[in-house]
Structure 1
Amino acid sequence: MLDQTELKSKLRAISEANAAHHVLDILESNLRRMGATHILITGLPMPNRPIDNLVQRFRWPDQRNDGIESTSLSANDSALMLGLGSNRARVWTISAGDMEHSDLLASAGEGSQVLVIPVTELYPFQAFVFASGPALQVNKYDLSNLEALAAAAFSRLRELGVISGQRPGALSTRERKVLELTAYGKTAGEIADVLDISQRTVHAHLQNASVKLNASNKTHTVVEALRYGQISV
C-alpha cells in the first residue's frame, strides 16, 4: 500500500513526466506491486466504434494460450462495459459465468481478482484502468490511491496531447444540450424556445444522438448519453 508521502511522490512524477510511456510506466508499476499480471489502460469507445486508437497500454497474457500476450482487443468485449457501470474503483473475482461473456476475463482465468478504475474527470471523455491477477491484493486505501493515480495519469496524457477530449462518434455540443434539456423533462417545443431553433431541428438532434448511441427510443437515448458521459444532470 502506498502511504501519503509515496502517493504525493508518484503524483508529482506523473505531473512532471514528459512522455506518455513514462506516465504509463508509473501507473503500471504500482499495479504490478499489488499483484497485477494483466493490465489494460484505455479510453472507452462510443457505441459501434473501434477501441484501437484509444488503448494506451495492453499487457494481457492469455492463460489459455501458455501465457502468450494478447495482441488484439475487441471493442465489443463485455468487460469494457464494467468501465461504464460505476464511477468508483472496485474489485471482484472472475467466475466461470464472467468468462463466458468476455474474452478478456477468460484470458485472465477463473478465480483471478479483477480491478476496475473508471476515470471520469475528463468529461465527456471516458477512460479506465483494468487490472487482474490471481494474487492481486487491493484494500480500500489502495483503491483510493489508484483512483488518484489513474486520474492524474490521464490528465497528464491529455496535457501531452496523447489523448483529446473527444471520441469518434461523440455527440455534438448541440446534441448534448438537447438531451440534457430532455433529461430535465422539457418538451420539444420548450427546447426549441430555449435554444431558439425549430422543433424539427430538435427532433433531428434527438434522432442523430439516438443513432450515435445505438438507442431505441428517446428515454433510452438519454440513459445511454448519461452512461457514456455525454451529458450530466
Structure 2
Amino acid sequence: MKKLMLTTAALALTTGFAMAETVRLGTEGAYPPYNFINDKGEVDGFERELGDELCKRASLTCEWVTNDWDSIIPNLVSGNYDVIIAGMSITDERDEVIDFTQNYTLPDPSAYIATSADIDLNSAVIAAQTGTIQASFVASSGATLVEYATPEETVAAVRNGEADAVLADRAYLLPIAEEDQGLEMLEKMELIGGGIGLGLRESDTELKETFNKAIQSMKDDGSLNALIEKWDIGVTF
C-alpha cells in the first residue's frame, strides 16, 4: 500500500534482536482500516488483528508501539521497536535501508478523491502524504504535488481548496468518499508498489524468517484472505 519514506535512515544497522525478548510492533495508528486508534485508546484495525495473529502463530510475546509516519523507518533502525507493521509498501528504495518479509497484501489500487470529477489530473494540484509511494508517483507524473504530514491533512487540503485531489490507498479513501457528499472518488486508479510487508532491521534475519513462516501459514489456511475481506483491504491472494 502506502508509503515511501527514507530521510536519514542510513543510520547504522547495529541494533539487533534477541528472540527471547518481547517483540515491539511499530505502527502509525492513523491510517484506517489498516491501523488506527480506537475509542479505548488502543491500536486497532486490519494490522492489529494481523500482528496479534502472527505473534500467536510464531509463539512470540508482542507489544504495540505507535510512531509518526515521517520517522517510522529511522526509529526502527535506531531500535525503538523491532517491526514496522504500518501499511508500508515494499519498494526497492526502502529495501536499501531495511528488510521486508514476504507481502501480506497484494498491491491495493491507489485512488483519487476530489470535489468534482471534472478535473485534469495531468495539470491538477494533488495532495499526498509525505514519504508515501503516492507522493513519489505524483512527483514523477507532471502534476503539482503538495505534501502533508498526515493522511487527514491531505483530505482537508481538498476540502479547503488547497488541492484539487488526493491520491492515497483506495481502502483508506473509499469510506471518506462514501461519508462526505462533497467529495467523490474518481474512476481513474493507479497500481503502485509491490504489496505490503513487515519492515525489519537488516540484521534481524531470524525474526524475519519467523514472521515469514507465520504469514505463509495464514496464506495457506485462508485466514489471511478472510482478514483482508473482513477489513475490505483489497485483492485477496
Q: Same fold (TM over 0.5)?
A: no
TM-score range, shorter chain: under 0.3
| Structure with the larger RCO, 1 or 2 (CA within 8 Å, 6+ apart) | 2
By percentage of residues, which structure has more helix?
1
Structure with the higher strand share, 1 or 2: 2
- What TM-score do the two structures reach when normalised by structure 1? 0.28
TM-score normalised to the size of structure 2? 0.27
